[in-house]
Amino acid sequence: ELKVEQNPLFLSMQEGKNYTIYCNYSTTSDRLYWYRQDPGKSLESLFVLLSNGAVKQEGRLMASLDTKARLSTLHITAAVHDLSATYFCAVEPSMTTDSWGKLQFGAGTQVVVTP
């Protein structure tokens, strides 16, 4: 069974500093997604990483994927209050076509950015 582990589960950030969220997964996959969820709200797609070495950047967020290490990172540069949210990684198993679309989510990392 595919397991997806995120750490840390809670991250208290100071404005202006840099932080990284890690997402490890247990089986072969080259498709990984990052989502953001604000309290009581839906999930917003941030990044789609579809190959080994993929790197995507949007504003202060940068995501990368290392399929050999089964690891994705979400790097936050110069944190600001607006980035306070819960961040989820999700892995799409790629072994068989039956597994396509069945996203397995990590537990989420709750980020709180304070001045």
If phi over 0 gives left and psi between -120 and 50 gives alpha, with beta otherwise, what is residue 68? alpha
Q: Is there a contact between 60 and 83 (Cβ–Cβ < 8 Å)?
A: yes
Comparing CA positions, the residue from 75, 78, 80, 64 lying closest to residue 109 is 75
* Smallest gap from residue 84 Cβ to other proteins (A): 19
- CB nearer to other proteins: pick between 23 and 79: 23
- CB nearer to other proteins: pick between 21 and 90: 90
| Distance (Å, whole) CA 73 – CA 51 | 14
- CB nearer to other proteins: pick between 22 and 105: 105
Tokens at 82, concatenated: 């607006």
Q: Interface with other proteins by CB under 8 A: which residues?
A: 31, 33, 35, 41-45, 48, 50, 88, 90, 92, 97-108
Peptide bond into 8 cis (omega under 30): yes
- CB nearer to other proteins: pick between 100 and 114: 100
